[in-house]
Amino acid sequence: MQSLIILVDMVLNLYMWVLIASAILSWLVAFNVINTRNRVVYAIGDFLYRITEPVLRPIRRFLPSFGGIDLSPVVLILLLIFLRNLLWEYAV
């Protein structure tokens, strides 16, 4: 059972890093630091979008508009941290 808990914890941790990478990439594209015409950048951005958007979309529906600031990744990361803590609290 301990191995399954460690695996779930690692998957949640990896997904948090994917969320952070997606947010950073979106900032870099928005501020014109990197260009999405580059095939590698486009492929990475598309992959990150496809992985994170299905989870972020429902959160965006409930959050009020903050004038162009997207707080949904922060909310999701906090939820994932809560879930990880809950997992370890009831597993031990």
Q: Read off the pLDDT of residues 41-55 as tens digits, 9 standing for 90 and up.
A: 999 999 999 999 999
Task: Indicate the pTM of the whole model.
Answer: 0.90
Q: Report the percent of the chain where pLDDT is more than 70.
A: 100
The whole domain housing 76 covers 2-91
Query: What are 20's two structure tokens?
Result: 């952070």
- The 10 Å CB-count burial string (b at 16+, else e) for 61-91 is eeeeeeeeeeebbeebbeebeeebeeeeeee
The total of structural domains in the chain comes to 1
Distance CA 92, CA 74 (A): 27
